[in-house]
Amino acid sequence: MIDSELIKSLMTNILGVGYNSETGEIEFVKIDTDTIETSIIGLYETITQRTLGRADPVRLFLLAVCYIIIILLNCINYTGKQNLLKYAVGDYLDEIGYLVNTERKVAMSATTTLKFTLSEALQTDTVIPQGTRVTADGSIFFATDKDLFIQQGQTEGIVSATCTENGEVGNNYLVGQINTIVDVQAFVSTVLNITVSAGGSEIEDDDVYRERIHVAPESFSVAGPNGAYEYWAKTALPTNSDVKIISPEPGKVSIYVILENGKLPEKEVLDNVLEVCNSTKIRPLTDNVSVLKPEVVNFDVNVTYYLSKDNEYNANAIKTQVEQAVDDWILWTKAKIGRDINVSELIRRMIVAGAKRVEVNSPEYTKILEGDYNTAEKKVEAVQLAVASEEKTISFGGFEND
């Protein structure tokens, strides 16, 4: 006869739904291998009145059944978690996004501005058609976004252009590098880009998309809160960009933007954000919206680190790790608008990387302004971005006793 109490005990142990304080995770079912094996074997022994030895073939078979049950329980947990924003990935995350009208951003193409120059001034208007392609290296191409009309008597005209390939591949062509016409046009002698190409990004990854879904309810408001402007601005930006919203005075909204890794956006990117956030379907009627770059605060990095004598044998490996820690800190500092120049964080990272002691000659701790409103003086402080100079000095000071 089946022991109902054993079955009830087994189900109670499995169906313990809730927060696991030990792992910090939500559990839809408990997965305790020992409990499951003990319960299954105990249930069999109770029913058959037979004690199973460790090498008994029936015991080995039951252990195989337990293994299958554990796999199924893991599947149940995984399936349940895919309904929660914190844990959902891939297509499951997309489905959660649809609930708040937030779709994953597809890969975006880089943009730039081109200047076409004619060989001579003509007596008629010259049209350079939309889709005219130019290139820097013969492998990546940019196509004009619209027809460019150069009026009679003029020799130059500018037009925006978009990379024909999605993703980051079209980013970071410096001014003047895109200078070869693929689709040759009559009387056009030269072309070159007058802005650095930027704005290309890969398909939005899960972590960035998850954060956008989390703040999506902010976009439901029509009152113009910070969160709503931030949400809409990020929909127009490549992934991993940062946005800061301030209101310098009633009725005015300033949106400050940087791209991934603290790169300052070109005009094309700023215009794209403005087009989205200035839509009458998004902004309150009385808001006057502008999109800007933050003010850059440059600083030098000059540090000296020391190692314990116990680490003499792997000093080269630690040197590499310490230098990487400094680079990571520099990148971390400029990845967010208004982030302070935090020397303590720099020291912490270098210590974690293996340094025994660190001396920071520069920079000093610096408070970076975030555009806090000053009610007494009725003004807004600058919105700043801390950016390290390209030249940095990382010196090894020697070995010390612990």
Query: For the chain, what are the domain ranges?
Result: 4-81, 111-193, 206-292, 296-400
Residue 232 has pLDDT above 60, yes or no: yes
pLDDT the model gives residue 14? 58
**pLDDT value for 377:** 52
The confidence score (pLDDT) of residue 209 equals 92
Average pLDDT, stretch 161-178? 94
Give tens-digit pLDDT for 246-294.
988 888 899 999 998 899 998 888 999 999 999 888 888 889 999 999 9
More confident residue, 184 or 222: 184
What's residue 375's pLDDT?
A: 47
**The pLDDT of residue 396 is above 80:** yes
pLDDT in tens, 350-359: 999 999 999 9
The yes/no answer on whether domain 206-292 falls in CATH 3.30.300 is: yes
Average pLDDT for residues 20-43, to the nearest whole number?
80
Residue 10: per-residue pLDDT: 58
Q: Mean pLDDT over residues 153-171, rounded?
A: 93
Q: How confident is the model at residue 30 (pLDDT cuts 50, 70, 90)?
A: confident
Residue 373, pLDDT > 70, answer no
**What pLDDT, on a 0 to 100 scale, did the predictor assign at position 49?**
87
| 342-348 mean pLDDT | 96
- Mean pLDDT for all residues in the chain: 88
pLDDT for position 281:
84
Q: What is the mean pLDDT of residues 58-77?
A: 91
Residue 327 has a pLDDT of: 95
pLDDT tens digits, 76-127: 889 999 999 999 999 999 999 999 888 998 898 999 999 999 999 888 999 9
Please report the pLDDT score of residue 26 as a whole number: 82
What's the mean pLDDT in 225-252?
87
pTM, two decimal places: 0.67
Predicted pLDDT at 1: 47
Three-state SS string across the chain, please?
A: CCCHHHHHHHHHHHCCCEEECCCCEEECCCCCHHHHHHHHHHHHHHHHCCCCCCCCHHHHHHHHHHHHHHHHHHHHHHHHHCCCCCCCCHHHHHHHHHHCCCCCCCCECCEEEEEEEECCCCCCCEEECCCCEEECCCCCEEEECCCEEECCCCCEEEEEEEECCCCHHHCCCCCCCCCEECCCCCCEEEEEECCCCECCECCCCHHHHHHHHHHHHHHHCCCCCHHHHHHHHHHCCCCCCEEEEECCCCCEEEEEEECHHHCCCCHHHHHHHHHHHCCCCCCCCCCEEEEECCEEEEEEEEEEEEEEHHHHHHHHHHHHHHHHHHHHHHHHHHCCCCCCECHHHHHHHHHHCCCCEEEEEECCCECCCECCEECCCCEECCEEEEEEEEEEEEEEEEEECC
